[in-house]
């Protein structure tokens, strides 16, 4: 499932975050790439352990906790602390797959089920820089307004096209979901969204209660917590 979550951050929050990021120290992005990724990765990042990355990363996770669409789609269990990257002057990231397991700051392992990119630059401010995600239905180009987020399965091959004008600044991170299987997670989201629409249209009813119980019982059957 490739899912667009609009307005995770409002305009002022994006501007504040950008002001801090534009004044920050950036390092070569290859520091966090695996052997295959390092060969094709040409961008800059904030050091993962920098106080600024930690502070802004917490703000991003707090904003996501307020998004019911994100929570219903991702069913998050644990997150890798968010990182920040910048592409400019032809910077790009060739086709790659993200590592299946990431080590958290506390030394625990996290299985990457979902990858997230939160755009922090408006599309009119740079050329290129599309996130291209390949799945079984072909490839999808993603370039979203600042403050919007894209969620996609970490199993997908993906790339970032060269940025030929301006700078593309984003926040990116991975999460382990309570529901490991992408198909099961997608069905739960469809059921959740349909139920919300039914409830808004007809109010509560015996049938909606029965379907809500079914949602929770499926989640109970599939969740690994
Ligand atoms: Ni990647």
Confidence of residue 36 (pLDDT cuts 50, 70, 90): confident
pLDDT at 195: 97
Contact residues for 95 (Cβ-Cβ < 8 A; gap 6+):
40, 134, 157, 158, 159
pLDDT at 37: 78
pLDDT at 167: 97
Q: What's the predicted TM-score (pTM) here? A: 0.95
CATH 3.30.200 fits 182-222, yes or no: no
The pair of three-digit structure tokens given for residue 192, joined into one six-digit string: 């959740």
Confidence of residue 217 (pLDDT cuts 50, 70, 90): very high
Would the pLDDT of 148 be above 90? yes
Burial class (CB in 10 A: 0-12, 13-18, 19+), 49: exposed
Ligand 1 centroid, distance to 37 Cα (angstroms): 8
Q: What is the mean pLDDT of residues 49-72?
A: 97
pLDDT at 38: 79
Ligand 1 centroid, distance to 174 Cα (angstroms): 10
Ligand 1 centroid, distance to 154 Cα (angstroms): 8
| Cβ-contact 78, 142 below 8 angstroms | no
pLDDT at 31: 77
Ligand 1 centroid, distance to 214 Cα (angstroms): 35
- Give ∠ CA 5-6-10 in degrees, rounded to 5: 130
Ligand 1 centroid, distance to 99 Cα (angstroms): 8
Ligand 1 centroid, distance to 197 Cα (angstroms): 34
| Homologous superfamily of the 3-177 domain (CATH) | q2cbj1_9rhob like domain (2.60.120.620)
Residues with a beta carbon under 5 angstroms from ion ligand 1: 98
102-145 pLDDT, tens digit per residue, is 999 999 999 999 999 999 999 999 999 999 999 888 999 999 99
Pairing between strand 3-5 and 109-111?
A: unpaired
Ligand 1 centroid, distance to 16 Cα (angstroms): 26
Please state, rounded to an integer, the average pLDDT across all residues of the chain: 95
| Domain definitions of the chain by residue range | 3-177, 182-222
pLDDT at 1: 85
Contact residues for 37 (Cβ-Cβ < 8 A; gap 6+):
30, 93, 96, 98, 99
Ligand 1 centroid, distance to 162 Cα (angstroms): 14
- Cα separation, 115 vs 132, in Å, equals 13
3-class DSSP assignment, residue 177: strand
Ligand 1 centroid, distance to 221 Cα (angstroms): 31
Q: What is the mean pLDDT of residues 41-49?
A: 92
Ligand 1 centroid, distance to 168 Cα (angstroms): 15
pLDDT at 39: 81
Ligand 1 centroid, distance to 83 Cα (angstroms): 12
Ligand 1 centroid, distance to 127 Cα (angstroms): 20
């Amino acid at each position: 499932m490739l899912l667009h979550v609009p307005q995770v951050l409002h305009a002022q929050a994006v501007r504040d975050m950008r002001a801090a990021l534009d004044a920050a120290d950036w390092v070569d992005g290859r520091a966090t790439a695996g052997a295959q990724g390092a060969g094709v990765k040409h961008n800059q990042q904030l050091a993962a352990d920098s106080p600024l990355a930690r502070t802004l990363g917490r703000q991003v996770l707090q904003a996501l906790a307020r998004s019911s669409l994100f929570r219903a789609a991702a069913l998050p269990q644990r997150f890798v602390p968010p990182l920040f990257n910048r592409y400019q002057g032809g910077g790009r990231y060739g086709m790659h797959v993200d590592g299946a397991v990431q080590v958290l700051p506390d030394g625990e392992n996290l299985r990457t089920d979902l990858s997230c990119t939160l755009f922090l630059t408006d599309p009119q401010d740079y050329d290129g820089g599309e996130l291209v995600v390949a799945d079984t239905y072909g490839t999808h180009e993603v370039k979203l307004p600042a403050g919007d987020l894209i969620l996609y399965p970490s199993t997908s091959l993906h790339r970032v096209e060269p940025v030929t004008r301006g700078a593309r600044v984003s926040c990116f991170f991975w999460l382990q979901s309570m529901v490991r299987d992408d198909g099961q997670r997608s069905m739960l989201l469809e059921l959740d969204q349909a139920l919300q629409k039914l409830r808004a249209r007809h109010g509560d009813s015996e049938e909606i209660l029965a379907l809500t119980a079914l949602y929770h019982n499926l989640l109970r059957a599939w969740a690994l917590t």
